[in-house]
Amino acid sequence: MSTIGIIIGSTRPNRRGADIGAWVQEAAARRDDASFVLIDLRDFSLPHFDQAIPPAMGGTQSESAKAWANAIGECDGFIFVTAEYNQWLPGALKNAIDFVFAEWCNKAAGIVSYGAAGGLGAAGQLRQMCGQFGIADIPAQVRLTLEADFEDMSRFRPRATSAAALDTMLDQLTAWTSAMEPLRVAAPSALVH
């Protein structure tokens, strides 16, 4: 059975990302077509990117980078739970993505984005990065807006339509994660670089 990592991409203390990640995990736990694991960037304490050798050209060197690489490597697919900061994906998430290479390759990903306008900018940037790794970014997406999915712009109260969008996204993601398996078995990263 595939393993799909739910990556919480923001790290500040009072982030909305934690509640959203928990909501995704709860919906995912009702399924039996994949297993899901929560991956919280805060658990890894990655520094600003400090690897002497680009990850695409070799392994990771530091202990924190190795732990992060192992967590990503154990997954067959991903759900990026991403905020939008200044029209871009959070710097902490971009930084963490850069720490590994082969561990991302030939997998599948879905996106749960949030922000004033649904975090569409951040989602688009993530999709662009997926191409670099040969990650199949699936079309179904969850777009949570601060106005419609949060009570008083603070407490997370997702709309029924957002919950339905999440189920559709999970349907597509589990199917694509399985569909990409032959590529991962045949050539873990060689098809990308």
Ligand X SMILES: Cc1cc2nc3c(=O)[nH]c(=O)nc-3n(C[C@H](O)[C@H](O)[C@H](O)COP(=O)(O)O)c2cc1C
Q: Is 16 in the site for ligand X (CB under 6 A)?
A: yes
Closer residue to ligand X, CB minimum distance, 5 or 17: 17
In whole angstroms, how far apart are CA 43 and each of 9, 103, 117, 191?
Answer: 11, 18, 28, 31
Binding flag, residue 154, ligand X (CB under 6 A): no
Indicate if the alpha-carbon torsion angle 113, 119, 124, 130 is positive or negative. negative
Closest approach, Cβ 81 to ligand X, in A, equals: 8
Examine residue 93 and tell whether it contacts ligand X (CB under 6 A).
Answer: no
156 makes contact with ligand X (CB under 6 A):
no
Q: Does 55 bind ligand X (CB under 6 A)?
A: no
Contact positions with ligand X (CB under 6 A) in 116-145: 116-117
Burial classification of residue 112, based on how many CB atoms lie within 10 Å of its CB (0-12 exposed, 13-18 middle, 19 or more buried): buried
CB nearer to ligand X: pick between 22 and 117: 117
CA distance 10 to 17: 6
**Is residue 113 within 8 Å of residue 145, measured between CB atoms?**
no
Which residue from 84, 103, 137, 149 is in contact with ligand X, where contact means CB under 6 A?
84
Stretch that binds ligand X, among 13-21, 34-42, 53-61, 95-103 (CB under 6 A): 13-21
Residue 17 binding ligand X, by CB under 6 A: yes
Give the residue, chosen from 6, 34, 46, 83, that forms a contact with ligand X under the rule CB under 6 A.
83
- Nearest-CA neighbor of 17 among 170, 137, 146? 146
Of 127, 129, 128, nearest in space to 139 by CA: 127
Applying CB under 6 A, the site for ligand X has a residue count of: 13
The reply to whether 38 sits near ligand X by the rule CB under 6 A is no
Angle between helices 17-29 and 160-179 (to 10 degrees): 70
The C-alpha atoms of residue 181 and residue 34 are separated, in whole angstroms, by: 13
Residues that bind ligand X (CB under 6 A): 10, 12, 15-17, 83-87, 115-117
